[in-house]
A and B are shown apart, each in its own frame.
Chain A
Amino acid sequence: MGELAAFIILSAVILIPAVVVVTSPNIVRAALSLVPTFLGVTGFYILLQAEFVAGIQVLIYAGAITVLILFVIMLTEGGSGTHVRQVTAQVPLGVTAALWLAFLLLLVLPRTPWPLSAGQPPQYSAPAVGSAFLTTYVLIFEVTSLVLLIALIGAIVIARREE
């Protein structure tokens, strides 16, 4: 009961700003609307008792990615970002595709068996995550740092060229 109420409230917190993101003609408003969306997703992680992931969601997405997006906007737009047309002449086609997808999803959803495992949710606490990284998934863990290195190099190369 309480869980359902929380789910509905969080869905509204996620979806209403999400609609603003894709419809607002003001590009900065659209970017800032991502913040409540990210925070709503944090709420879902909490309902799943994945507390560490929730902390990351706020720290990385709401705190870092939003700032990056805002910087990118301020870097590229020269005062034109307040009247952006987010729709083009292809609206009818897009609506048709979206409706078709919705129809298919509604068709499939009730027929799919959703396996529900009983018992406790898995441990998502920080020490559990840490032990998993350092024992079972150590290779993936080390490769992550390589991915980060490559991401940084790529970003710098691209940004330098633009300059």
Chain B
Amino acid sequence: MAVFVEILKAVALAVVVFTFLAVVGAMYGVYLERKISGWIQARIGPMHVGPWGLLQTVADTVKLLQKEHITPRRADWLIFNTAPLIVAVAGLLDWVVIPFGTAFGRVLVVRDISIGVVYFAAMASLTVVGILAAGWSSNNKYALLGGLRSASQMVSYEIPLALGLLWAVMLAGTLSTVGIVEAQRASGWFLFKVPPFGLIAALTFLVAATAEVNRVPFDLPEAESELVAGYFAEYTGMRFALFQLGEYAEMFAMAAMAAVLFLGGWLEPRMPLWVWAGLGLAALAAALFIRFSALRRVLLVRPILALAVLGAVLCALMVAGLAAGRSPVLPSLLWFFIKLFALVFFLMWMRWTYPRLRLDQLLNLSWKVLLPVGLVNLLITGFLLTVAR
């Protein structure tokens, strides 16, 4: 009977994680993307549906629900209809091993699989199959070209991605994601370990992750302006939304994994009191300067005011907590989400800043730069950790 209890628990957790991904990842991920793109291009982004346009993507979803499903006559209908499911489910499965934080004395993770990092890489690699299936089954030249490009790009960047994962595994000595975070409790963020090689490994991972989720500057497979959206050119309505869901779930998972590997996951950053106080005062000064100068009216600057105020509040809380002798001061979930959204913001910032790479540049970057750099990085770190000790 214990098995049925476990299955029920698993179903409940799956529904919760799926809903989280659909609402926070896909719906508010798209909203965030539109707001941030607006900010970067000195616009205001969606404003009409709900306060500050908050319900815009909800309205979009309702609209997509009413759209007809078109399966082109010449498409292979079976593969055509299965492909979006593969992409969406692969995006969901990534999240099984991501630890969100701790509560009530236990780690908030669906399952702490002991080969967590390998599992993550394996599930991320399943997306390729879905994309290739979508591209081929549409029987559309744009879609097939997009699917093939996407697949060759994703397989090329899987290796640097794995090398980034491996670097963190080397330091932690375990494949479990929870174990990697716990290893950083004693030693501090892996980002700053064995300098500068931690930084190099993190950069390798982040670049490979960006390419793995097909985002600018690596968005050739979806290049709107040349391939009319690539492998999902023929998909309409909710099936198109499933691709978006899979993509955003994957992007958030990559950002979460980067936070787990290099930024200490849910752990609170440990800095002396005066550093927090200094950071808080700097944020406060920036906020006051913007508020009481003409900069306040500039569209590009206004969001910085909000961020500076939030940063000042965070630092003030930390200072108060540390002065009162509490440790950790803030809940671990909050720290995890701060790191997650900081990385997501970074990915979106890149998207709206850089132009698209050419296919040969893209493949060269993976095979001739990231792969050798990643391998040599592993070797030097291995040398420093064993022989040179």
Contact = CB atoms under 8 A, between A and B. Distances in A.
> Direct contact between A and B in the complex (CB less than 8 angstroms)?
yes
Contacts, number: 67
Contacts of A74: 136, 144, 148
Nearest to B176: A126
Contacts of A66: 129
Contacts of A32: 79, 129, 133
Interface string A7-40: 0000000000000000000101100100100000
Interface in B76-119: 76, 78-79, 113-115, 118-119
A70 interface: yes
Contact of A70 (B3, B123, B132, B158): B132
A67 B114 contact: no
B113 A51 contact: yes
B129 A51 contact: no
Contacts of A86: none
A59 B129 contact: no
B122 A59 contact: yes
A126 B155 contact: no
A116 to B, nearest CB: 24
A28 B76 CA distance: 10
B175 interface: yes
Interface size class of A (residues with CB under 8 A): 20 to 34
B133 A64 contact: no
A29 B144 CA distance: 15
Nearest to A56: B118
B128 interface: yes
Contacts of A71: 148, 151
Contact of A126 (B3, B121, B123, B175): B175
Contact of B125 (A2, A29, A59, A126): A59
Contact of B114 (A51, A58, A82): A51
Interface string A37-68: 00000000000000110011011001110110
A126 B173 CA distance: 10
Contacts of B148: 71, 74
Given A59-B122, A126-B114, 19 more contacts: A28-B76, A28-B79, A28-B137, A32-B133, A51-B114, A58-B123, A59-B125, A62-B125, A63-B128, A64-B155, A66-B129, A70-B132, A70-B151, A71-B148, A74-B136, A74-B144, A125-B114, A126-B115, A126-B175
What 10 A-B pairs have minimum CB-CB distances, sorted nearest first? A63-B125, A58-B122, A55-B118, A59-B122, A55-B115, A126-B175, A51-B115, A70-B132, A52-B115, A55-B122
